[in-house]
Amino acid sequence: MRYDIEVIRKAEIELLAQMQGATSLTKRRLSIDSGISRQHIGLVAKGKRNLSIKSFCDLADAFGCSATELMAKLEELMQEQLKLQVAIAADKSKGMGYINKAYSDRNNPKNKTFK
């Protein structure tokens, strides 16, 4: 399955937040333990950068898990993001359908009543 870059970014943001919360690691401590600069971790946490494979493996090590376990968690979060995108798209679709129907009903001469 191919993932949109926004899905990956949002999942990475959520992954960092969840893993930091679960391990109680500050960005500073995470930076020291992983060897990734604090600035880069901050940019990933804001969705401005993505993780490289090496950085991902270094983070897994800092969080005390394997890269495979961390990837499974990321995959789970990407699936959740995809479901959210589909739900949002469906809501937008319904909204436009309703607006288009209301507009066509309003402009249909058969629906006009005169007093």
Q: Which CATH class is domain 5-107?
A: mainly alpha
List Cβ neighbours of 57 (8 Å cut-off, separation of 6 or more).
Answer: 67
* Count of alpha carbons within 13 angstroms of residue 52, beta-carbon side: 6
pLDDT band (50, 70, 90) for residue 30: very high
Neighbour tally for 33: CB within 10 Å: 16
Neighbour tally for 61: CB within 10 Å: 15
Mean pLDDT of 54-81: 95
Mean pLDDT of 95-107: 58
Angle (CA) 78 25 46, round 5°:
45
Is the pLDDT score of 69 beyond 80? yes
Mean pLDDT of 48-52: 93
Share of the chain above pLDDT 70, in %: 78
Report the chain's mean pLDDT, rounded to a whole number: 85
The whole-number pLDDT of residue 86 equals 79
Q: How far apart are CA 35 and CA 57, in angstroms?
A: 11
- Domain ranges (residues) in the chain: 5-107
